[in-house]
Structure 1
């Protein structure tokens, strides 16, 4: 009887040990966690828009050292993070999505490293969305890979990984808003097209703020940061037509969207830290 009890405990211990190993492996994307992988890949979306915006502003004649720094640092970070994702990717679907980004990036990089001029700005406007979509496909591939690896464990981490993705996307939308606001003031012939994108970005950003405000993962620190975001966003909420019609000063749009990006970067990092617990 005692031996049978000992064998039962041994079997349970082995099962629990095996489950812990599988759980640990399923939560890792190579040498990093899936939470970090979603955060990093999501940041690539934002950087694609940030570089595009900075290039347009420089071409518009706004000779600001901070904008030049933004363009150069964003390019460096984008390439470094692409290397990290490539190094840690294991599934064929993720590798294929990263390969697509690499192909588009090689062409995009040539343009943003050239002397800013209106013609290349139009090229940027035609190219940026393709790069953005490719970067988003990487995020989706990583998120799907996480869900597949976690089929055995129906836990809250899947929902949390999605929250990291959604929060991280707000960084991109902040930069995309500034990009298309700038473009609509630069190119009158394409302004209607750019304003449609601007309106869509505004609507999505505004909707997601409301959704994140009621997230069950919110800590006091996250809620306080969301409160700061609402304070910044209020000027656009109370005057959306002014935003769509180009009534705000470009410097104000640049400053506000950068602050929004910074705040959502902090929030996304806080959500990521929960996934590591």
Structure 2
């Protein structure tokens, strides 16, 4: 992608987010389960944005990757604004402000294909950590087993993108050893959490049905995440990108079901 084209795209994505970071509309507010879901989505977006950035740098699925990056930037801004309608206590308010500060540093990195990959790595990690703290704080405020399941299932969305991010960083040769370890850890965490969700007493027949579909996608995703020969690098990255989006979409349905409990 040419620099001029990317700057136009970045400006467009900024317009998409528009007033998303502005003060919330009077009279609107979120419930705690919804807040857990939304703050958990910020964890996912921190990793999905990095994944899309890496795909663009690598020249893989450029049109789709550009769209994913624009959506991720705009969604992050929108959710930051929405969460301002529910900040019970100074603890959550402070965590939300810290997350926003980290995001303001990270966002310009994602909007520039010339950014240092190691900086993108570092900022994606710091924003993830800040979003994790905020999500846990919302879960504690809710104080219910249902809130815990929204958090746990929401974290699966993040892991789907984290695995893809780690794979692509390793393929690029940036922090390769650390990326390999990250990928291995995320795969193990995803598999363990999936079993916990299946075994949860609150998991309805509908939720278990959706989890079975997640399991099907997980099979394909694990295959895509295997190391490939150098000649297959582009195809491998494309497969990881595609399957990570599919498992994300399916997990999103599961999170929504837990949120409604």
Q: Could you tell me the TM-score, scaled by structure 1's length? A: 0.78
- Cα offsets for 1:194-232 (capped at 9, x unmatched): 100110000000111111111112222211211111112
> Distance in 2 between the 1:236 and 1:252 partners?
8
Matching of residue 136 in structure 1 with residue 118 in structure 2: no
One of 204, 214, 218 as aligned partner of 2:199: 214
Identify the residue that residue 166 of structure 2 maps to in structure 1.
180
Given that residues 229 and 260 in structure 1 are in contact (C-alpha distance below 8 angstroms), is that contact kept between their aligned partners in structure 2? yes
Label 1:246 to 1:140 Cα distance change in 2 as closer, same or farther (>3 A). farther
Given that residues 97 and 137 in structure 1 are in contact (C-alpha distance below 8 angstroms), is that contact kept between their aligned partners in structure 2? yes
Give the drift of 1:125.
0.8
Matching of residue 204 in structure 1 with residue 189 in structure 2: yes
Q: Could you tell me the TM-score, scaled by structure 2's length? A: 0.83
Give the drift of 1:53.
0.6
One of 36, 46, 57 as aligned partner of 2:55: 57
Give the drift of 1:63.
4.7
Unaligned residue ranges in structure 2 (runs of 5+)? 1-27, 230-234
> Distance in 1 between the 2:30 and 2:228 partners?
42
One of 103, 106, 111 as aligned partner of 1:105: 103
> Distance in 1 between the 2:48 and 2:94 partners?
24
> Distance in 1 between the 2:251 and 2:66 partners?
22
Label 1:34 to 1:200 Cα distance change in 2 as closer, same or farther (>3 A). same
The runs of at least 4 consecutive aligned structure 1 residues that moved more than 3 Å come to 242-248
Identify the residue that residue 147 of structure 2 maps to in structure 1.
161
Give the match's secondary structure for 2:116.
Answer: helix
Question: How many residues matched?
Answer: 229
Give the drift of 1:236.
5.4
Give the match's secondary structure for 1:32.
Answer: coil
Specify the structure having the higher radius of gyration (Cα). Answer: 1
Give the drift of 1:258.
0.8
Unaligned residue ranges in structure 1 (runs of 5+)? 1-29, 148-157
Identify the residue that residue 177 of structure 2 maps to in structure 1.
192
> Distance in 2 between the 1:68 and 1:245 partners?
25
Alignment of 1:26-65 (within 5 A): 31-65=29-63
One of 234, 244, 257 as aligned partner of 1:257: 244
Give the drift of 1:70.
0.7
Label 1:236 to 1:256 Cα distance change in 2 as closer, same or farther (>3 A). closer
